[in-house]
Amino acid sequence: MAEKETAKKTTLARTVKDKWRSKVTYKVRAPGLFQHAELGETVATEPEQVVGRTLEVTVPELAGSSDPGKTHVKLRFQIERISGDGVAEAKFIGHELTSDYVRRLARRKRSKIDLSVTVVTKDGVQVVLKPVAVGEQRLQTRLRAELRHRIVETLTEEAKLRSSPEFAREILQGDLSKVLAHGVKSLYPLKKIEIRRSEVLGVIPDEVIPADAPSAPEGPAPPEAVAEGDAAPAA
């Protein structure tokens, strides 16, 4: 009986070992928006198993930087195909801030406005944006409604003016937050307003750069900050 158990365990161990031997490691590559940087590796027995997998990397991990100031910014990617050279090509599907960072945005006695807006860029790519606006003091209901309307209006118009690669960079570099801050300033000078999360519903194409154009900077700068969930004023 003991011999049968030993043989069974040996066969099982050999099967597991053979299964892992058959797995292939694929390097995952970011899209052109991020200069085709390497995102990491994933393993699978068949290439089809890799497609659809998602990865999250922080800005320092993507940039190869040790700067701890951007570890709260997470970029999200999804593998969409295996290239001819055996590399898993991923598309950018959005970004978000860590929940602990978001919680620190709204301190006590500050009013927080959270909303979700779906916009369409000039080249037809849909993007879901979730901005957060923080006031220094509690805001009246009417003012909150006016701020929400102005934010939605500004985001919709700004997206129409930009191609999807341009709009993605505007989000990640913090320029869109500056546009929002300027847009609502006449209503109320907010303490903080940022895009806490973005979700790309389509595919951002690689830009075609003219041969005589100056070289592009090395990837988009990291986003500044962003917040979570539609919340009432902080207690």
The secondary element (H helix, E strand) that includes residue 65 is: none
What separation in angstroms does the CA of 111 have from each of 17, 52, 161, 189?
57, 39, 31, 13
Buried b (16+ CB within 10 A) or exposed e, 7-21: eeeeeeeeeeeeeee
- The per-residue pLDDT of the chain, averaged, comes to 81
Cα–Cα distance for residue pair 235/233, rounded to 1 Å: 6
d(CA 57, CA 78): 12
From CA 37, how far away is CA 92, in angstroms rounded?
12
For residue 74, count other CB atoms closer than 10 A to its CB: 20
The Cα 104–Cα 112 span in angstroms is: 11
pLDDT band at 211 (very low <50, low <70, confident <90, very high): very low
Q: Report the alpha-carbon distance of residue 97 to residue 75 in Å, rounded.
A: 9
Question: Residue 140's Cα: distance from chain center in Å?
Answer: 32
CATH 3.30.479.30 for domain 99-200, yes or no, is yes
What are the residues facing 92 on neighbouring strands? Answer: 77
* Residue spans per domain, the chain: 15-97, 99-200
DSSP-derived letter for residue 109 is T
| SS3 (DSSP) at 100 | helix
Is residue 193 predicted with pLDDT exceeding 60? yes
Q: Which of 18, 28, 76, 103 is CA-nearest to residue 201?
A: 76
At 114, the pLDDT band (50, 70, 90 cuts) reads: very high
pLDDT digits 0-9 by tens, 129-156: 999 998 888 888 899 999 999 999 999 9
Residue 226 pLDDT class (50, 70, 90 cuts): very low
